[in-house]
């Protein structure tokens, strides 16, 4: 049974940093795409970032325009963990952040909710102004 468990959320002041973690179990996502999404109250779940295998032991990430320049996605296959490092947080970053995994591979970034097969339970991030 595949499980994705997010951690690292909480209350942070605007301008501050935060690192979210996603621990995967039940499956290794080595060459499969993984991603982060978020959902603010009353809004649809939106893509934040994804990371895919680019050959050898290398991965490459892609982040949405809304967090570009402030966020970095990474993964550690040794521990089957994915991370989202965010800086210069804004109140509009307040949302529940979800970790997602997919069976898909390849050179596509997979930015749609429907692209993903596995989801974590989410972790709340609240940014105070």
Q: What is the pLDDT of residue 108?
A: 83
Return the number of other C-beta atoms located less than 10 Å from residue 67's C-beta.
Answer: 22
* pLDDT range class, residue 79, cuts 50, 70, 90: very high
Separation of alpha carbons 13 and 116, rounded Å: 31
Separation of alpha carbons 27 and 1, rounded Å: 8
pLDDT for 39-76, tens place per residue?
Answer: 999 999 999 999 998 888 889 999 999 999 999 999 99
The residues, ordered by sequence, that sit 6+ positions from 40 with a Cβ below 8 Å of its Cβ are 92, 94, 95, 96
* 115 pLDDT above the threshold of 90: yes
What beta strand segments (E) does 1-129 contain? Answer: 3-7, 10-13, 18-25, 34-39, 46-55, 58-63, 71-76, 81-86, 95-101, 118-119, 123-128
Q: What is the pLDDT of residue 128?
A: 97
pLDDT for 30-39, tens place per residue?
Answer: 888 999 999 9
Separation of alpha carbons 67 and 79, rounded Å: 26
> If DSSP codes are grouped into helix, strand and coil, which group holds residue 89?
coil
Q: Outline where the chain has alpha helix (H).
A: none
Mean pLDDT of the chain: 94
């Amino acid at each position: 049974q595949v499980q994705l468990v997010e951690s690292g959320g909480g209350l942070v002041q605007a301008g501050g940093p935060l690192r979210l973690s996603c621990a995967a179990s039940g499956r290794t996502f080595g060459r499969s795409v993984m991603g982060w999404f978020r959902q603010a109250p009353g809004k649809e779940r939106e893509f934040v970032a994804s990371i895919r295998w680019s050959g050898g032991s290398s991965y490459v990430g892609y982040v949405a325009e809304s967090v570009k320049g402030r966020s970095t996605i990474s993964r550690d296959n040794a521990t089957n963990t994915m991370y989202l490092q965010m800086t210069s947080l804004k109140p509009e970053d307040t949302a529940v952040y979800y970790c997602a995994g997919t069976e898909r591979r390849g050179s596509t970034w997979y930015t749609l909710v429907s692209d993903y097969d596995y989801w974590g339970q989410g972790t709340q991030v609240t940014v105070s102004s």
